[in-house]
A and B are shown apart, each in its own frame.
Chain A
Amino acid sequence: MPLNADFVGREYPAAEPYEVSRELIRRFADAIGDPNPAYRDPAAARALGHPDVVAPPTFLTVLSFRYVVDSPMVDPALGLDYSRVVHGEQRFVAHRPVHAGDVLRVVSSVEDIRVAGRNEVLTTRTAVSTLDGEPVADIYSSVVSRGTAVATQEGEGA
Chain B
Amino acid sequence: MTAVVVYDSVEVGTVLPPLSFPIQRANLVMYAGASGDFNIIHWNEKVATAVGLPDVIAHGMLTMAEAGRVVTDWVGDPGAVVEYGVRFVRPVVVPDDGVGTRLDVSGVVTEKLDDGRVVVQLTATVGGDKVLGQARATVRLA
Residues in A77-93 with C-beta less than 8 Å from chain B = 83, 86-93
A90 B86 Cβ-Cβ under 8 A:
yes
Total of A-B residue pairs, C-beta within 8 Å: 112
With beta carbons under 8 angstroms apart, the residue of A32, A49, A93 that contacts B62 is A32
Q: How large is the interface on A (under 10, 10 to 19, 20 to 34, 35 or more residues)?
A: 35 or more
Interface size on B, residues (CB 8 A): 37
Residues of A within 8 A of B66 (CB): 32-33
Contact with A along B18-56 (1 / 0, CB 8 A): 000100000100110111111000000000000100000
A28 B34 Cβ-Cβ under 8 A:
yes
Which of B8-16, B69-77, B92-100, B105-113 binds A? B69-77
Residues of B within 8 A of A86 (CB): 88
A54 B84 Cβ-Cβ under 8 A:
no
Task: Tell me the complex Cα distance, A55–B21, Å.
Answer: 20
Residues of A within 8 A of B1 (CB): 48-50, 97
B36 A89 Cβ-Cβ under 8 A:
no
A58 B65 Cβ-Cβ under 8 A:
yes
Q: Other CB < 8 Å A-B pairs besides A31-B27, A57-B137, 7 of them?
A: A28-B34, A33-B27, A50-B79, A56-B72, A65-B38, A90-B85, A97-B79
